[in-house]
Amino acid sequence: MHALEKILAKNSGRKEVKNGEIVTAKIDFAEINDLYLQTVYSFYEMGGEKVWDSTRCAFVFDHYAPTPDIQSASNHKEMREFAEKNNLQFHFDTNCGVCHQVMPEAGVIYPGMIIVATDSHTTTHGAFGALGTGCGATDMATILMTGELWLRVPEIIEVRLEGEAPKGVYPKDVILAVLGKIRADGAVYKAIDFTGSYVENLNVAGRMVICNMAVEMGAKTAYMQPNQDVLDYVSERAVRPYEVEFTDPGYEYTESYVFDVTKLEPELACPSSVENVHTLASVVAEGEVKLNQGYIGSCTGGREEDIAIAAKILKGKHIPEYTRLIVVPASREVMLSCMEKGYIQDLMAAGATITTPGCGACLGAHEGILAPGEVCITSTNRNFPGRMGSTEALMYLASPATVAASMISGTITDPRKYL
């Protein structure tokens, strides 16, 4: 069996599971973000009274942190009341950050668990050898009532990433290259196991970037076998004992793709689809791409590693007049550490606007919305029409290094020039 199947079997009280089977699995942790007040409504509509386990679920207020209007403030208020009434052990208010960053930091994510959250990017936690998957509000309400969810055991695709990344190629470039090949619906209903020497040597932040964007191929979940970096990270934080699962030798994947990471280049997902991936070199060869805004943040590209490389590139330089760079640390922990290391100071000196840890403008709610006709380069994960504001704005997805390098001239620029 695959490690993911072992997790599903363990949590549904079976010896074995096979793909295609429907199982009812126990959920180790459930997270509700602040877009999902509907969860509370559905919970009561279905006759819920108290959550099944007050130590295993939490709200994260990240999309509206802090609230931009009366409606979202009222939503937070109702959710806070629910959290308080249920005496939830964990609560992440507007001072914390993006859910997929604050949960691992708080130690509620660890290998071998099932984490379900009301957010599609819950695949991120495959980085830790956990089974993470997203659901909607009403599915979440059933979890809050029962502690369980029905799941179909997915087919598993192997994406083998081999070799060391060349200079200027970051985990974001790697996942964009994969996405360009497998396409936006290449893994719908399936799981992706990222394997290979690149993954074995990758740090926690890099693993999270890649697993995060597995959902952009439609994947139900992502997986990476935990390495020493992961074990060190979770051993300091995990709030429960855990067991790492391993895939049996000889496990047969439904499909396998192999990528030679040594041959990759800085990549871009061009407007307006995540699968519209081209090498940066080929895009700029066709002509200069002028930018109005750069954006570094989100559960994909707002970690310390991302802000560090941006600060390194932009230190002592300044973004051009009439352009703006918005930097949103993914969490309070990230921001504090970046302040301590001087990255925030360097970026502010270069003309960056720093906003509250959280989702910020990643989904077009506030703090960096795009006007019609504007062009943005961003380290986030989606460039769908209207994702960051106007449907007539254009968005390029890139690594944080590419965003930073591009903000020096205000046009899309190869980061290798500055490394």
Partner 1 sequence: MKTEITGKIIIVGDNIDTDQIYPGRFLALTDPKEIGSHCLCGVDENIAANFPQGGIVIGGRNFGCGSSREHAPIALLNMGASAVIADSFARIFFRNAINLGLPLIISKGISQKVKEGQTLTLNITEGTIKAEETGEVFACEQLGDQAMKILEAGGIKPLMREKFGKK
Binding site for ligand SF4 (CB under 6 A): 62-63, 98-99, 119, 121, 298-299, 359, 362-363, 380-381
Residue 98 interacting partner from partner 1, ligand SF4, none (CB closer than 5 to 8 Å by kind): ligand SF4
- Among 161, 101, 71, smallest CA distance to 304 is for 101
Q: Residues 367, 330, 62, 266: what is their CA dihedral angle, to the nearest 10 degrees?
A: 70
Which listed range, 129-137, 169-177, 312-320, 330-338, lies at the site for partner 1 (CB under 8 A)? 129-137
CB-nearer residue toward ligand SF4: 247 or 380 = 380
Select the binding partner of residue 355 from ligand SF4, partner 1, none (C-beta < 5 to 8 A, by kind). Answer: none
Q: How far is CA 288 from CA 15, 149, 314, in A?
A: 58, 49, 20
Return the residues of window 285-324 that contact partner 1 according to CB under 8 A. Answer: none
d(CA 357, CA 66): 9
The reply to whether 77 sits near partner 1 by the rule CB under 8 A is: no
In one letter, which amino acid is 238?
Answer: A
Rounded Cα–Cα distance for residues 165 and 201 (Å): 11
Interacting partner of 299 out of ligand SF4, partner 1, none (Cβ under 5 to 8 A depending on kind) = ligand SF4
Q: Are 308 and 335 in contact (CB under 8 A)?
A: no
Is position 250 an interface residue for partner 1 (rule: CB under 8 A)?
no
Q: Tell the smallest beta-carbon distance from residue 290 to partner 1 (Å).
A: 24
Question: SS3 for 400?
Answer: helix
Nearest Cα residue to 189 out of 364, 365, 403, 22: 22
Asked if 37 is part of the footprint of partner 1 (rule: CB under 8 A), the reply reads: yes
Nearer to partner 1 (CB atom), residue 189 or residue 248? 189
184 binds partner 1 (CB under 8 A): yes
Task: Report if residue 10 touches partner 1, rule: CB under 8 A.
Answer: no
Three-state SS at 147: coil
Among positions 119, 173, 267, 304, the unique one binding partner 1 when judged by CB under 8 A: 119
Q: State yes or no: residue 251 binds partner 1 (CB under 8 A).
A: no
CA distance 24 to 12: 6
Under rule CB under 8 A, how many of the chain's residues touch partner 1? 50
Cβ 54 vs Cβ 91: under 8 Å: no
| Site stretch for partner 1 (CB under 8 A), options 82-90, 97-105, 136-144, 259-267 | 136-144
For residue 376, what is the enclosing H or E element?
Answer: strand 375-378
State the residue for tokens 């830790």.
Answer: 128
State the minimum distance, in angstroms, from the CB of residue 414 to partner 1: 28
Work out whether 129 is an interface residue with partner 1 (CB under 8 A): no
